[in-house]
Amino acid sequence: MTSFIRSFPVFSPVADHSLLIEFGETIDHAIHARVIKLDRALAAEPFTGFVEAIPAYASILVRFNPVLTDHGQVEEATRRLLGAAGSVETPAVLREVLVCYDDEFAPDIAAVAEAAGLSPEEVIEAHLSGDYDVFMYGFAPGYAYLAGVPERIRTPRKSTAVRGVPAGSVLIAGPQCLVSTITMPTGWWIIGRSPTPILTGDADHPFLFDVGDKVRFRRITRAEFDREAGR
């Protein structure tokens, strides 16, 4: 049986108004760097008919006005940007997120520790040491998916989702981490809670993070959490 190896980037039409450009199939910093490069190049030098670009882990969806251009022209324009010498250099912004790991806020710390063969305190230390980048936004407002969870605490998703997980919960699953913004079910592991506002209320910049930002978690006590949360 002959195996099929995809050659990236892959350009795929989506409906009559979008082009999906894939750079790989894994969560990888080098792959995502290519996504960000194209995203920023499109922002700096948009083609005629460009509407928006939506970056993800290993791909980017480029939306366009089909009255003004078509899939072939958009592919040509994006290939030109990808082949341009250098890149659009925009320094990554570092965002700090406070997190309290007290038992009340971290119901899954013990399970993650057991799975990793670590103590709960070692899980916390590992989480704080992670090198986190904002890779994409997900299905809920402000749901920024961060890559960078250290290998030693990477744990597959739960087999069953838990309902009613509070906003501000710090969650991990595999190499991914996020801070929830609304109360909702999740199959990820709940290891802390943050009082840091992710939804800003600013119409021009509604979320704390932009794709491409870096995130650093800083541990706080329960008293500090209550103070930051205005309790």
Q: What is the pLDDT of residues 169-223, one digit of tens each?
A: 999 999 999 999 999 999 999 999 999 999 998 988 999 999 999 999 999 999 9
Strands 94-99 and 214-219: what pairing? parallel
Task: Give me the percent of the chain exceeding a pLDDT of 90.
Answer: 83
Which domain range does residue 46 map to? 10-83
- Which residue, chain included where needed, has tokens 């969806």? 61
In this prediction, residues 73-89 reach a mean pLDDT of 82
Is 5 a member of any domain?
no
Both 220 and 106 in one domain: the answer is yes
Both 76 and 108 in one domain: the answer is no
Q: What is the mean pLDDT of the chain?
A: 92
Number of neighbouring beta carbons within 10 Å of residue 200: 12
The residues with which 219 forms a beta bridge, in sequence order, are 99
- C-alpha distances out from residue 155 to 56, 149, 150, 187, 194, Å: 22, 10, 10, 11, 21
Both 152 and 104 in one domain: the answer is yes
The pLDDT, as a whole number, for residue 88 is 55
Label residue 89 by pLDDT band (50, 70, 90): low
| CATH number of the CATH domain containing 150 | 2.40.100.10
Given 58, 83, 108, which residue is the final one in a domain?
83
Label residue 85 by pLDDT band (50, 70, 90): low
In this prediction, residues 144-164 reach a mean pLDDT of 95
Query: What span, in angstroms and rounded, lies between the C-alpha atoms of 22 and 83?
Result: 15
Both 70 and 112 in one domain: the answer is no
Given a cut of 70, is residue 75 above it in pLDDT?
Answer: yes
**Number of folded domains in the chain?**
2
Given a cut of 80, is residue 90 above it in pLDDT?
Answer: no
Given 83, 106, 136, which residue is the final one in a domain?
83
Task: Give me the percent of the chain exceeding a pLDDT of 70.
Answer: 95
